[in-house]
């Protein structure tokens, strides 16, 4: 038996493959046979993987948790999936809920919540809302590259600043630091 060879990396992506999700019992991808081994030699290199963004319209935007291990009990995730593509990311399996792969799909088939600021404003205005820090970027990075075009995280931070609401931010991006001079939290 031949040893299993690792897949070559995909330029600009963290995952080398796009395995089928197993959570929902979807049928597996069809076996391609031996001809696929020669596909690149015949057809040339595949086109670069493009990122697509699907609009998600949730009913609420604040996610709550009761974990004693975390220093916060609520969070906002403006996006699902993450272009950073960190191979160690614990959020990768969440893409299976959409029948997508935790591999390249997680990095290239993203979801944005453009109404996040409106939903947040509505939730903060509820009579029984109790103020506590809201964490941003706990599942996927709110300042990932698509934030440049979509601005969902910025709109959420603007609402939190306007209401003087405490927040926690986790990011590996420099977008937060470079945009800080224009931040509403100055």
Phi-psi region of 126 (alpha: psi -120 to 50; beta: other; left: phi over 0): beta
pTM here is 0.75
174 has a pLDDT exceeding 90 = no
**What pLDDT shows up at residue 49?**
80
Please write the tens of the pLDDT for every residue from 114-158. Answer: 999 999 999 999 999 999 999 998 889 999 999 999 999 999 999
Backbone Cα Rg of the chain: 20
9 has a pLDDT exceeding 80 = no
Residue 88: beta bridge partners?
none
Residue 73: which of 133, 141, 7, 142 has the closest Cα?
133
Annotated domain spans of the chain: 50-181
């Amino acid at each position: 038996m031949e040893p299993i060879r690792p897949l070559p990396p995909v330029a600009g992506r963290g995952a080398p493959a796009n395995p089928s999700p197993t959570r929902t019992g979807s049928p597996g991808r069809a076996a391609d046979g031996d001809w696929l081994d020669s596909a690149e030699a015949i057809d040339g290199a595949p086109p670069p993987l493009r990122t697509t963004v699907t609009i998600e319209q949730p009913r609420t935007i604040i996610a709550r948790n009761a974990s004693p291990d975390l220093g916060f009990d609520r969070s906002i995730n403006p996006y699902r999936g993450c272009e950073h593509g960190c191979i160690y990311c614990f959020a990768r399996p969440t893409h299976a809920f959409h029948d997508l792969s935790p591999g390249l799909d997680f990095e290239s088939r993203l979801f944005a919540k453009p109404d996040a600021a409106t939903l947040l404003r509505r939730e903060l205005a509820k009579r029984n809302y109790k103020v506590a820090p809201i964490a941003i970027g706990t599942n996927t990075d709110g300042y990932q590259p698509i934030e440049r075009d979509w601005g969902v995280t910025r709109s959420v931070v603007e609402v939190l600043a306007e209401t003087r609401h405490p927040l926690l931010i986790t990011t590996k991006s420099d977008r937060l630091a470079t945009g800080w001079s224009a931040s509403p939290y100055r």
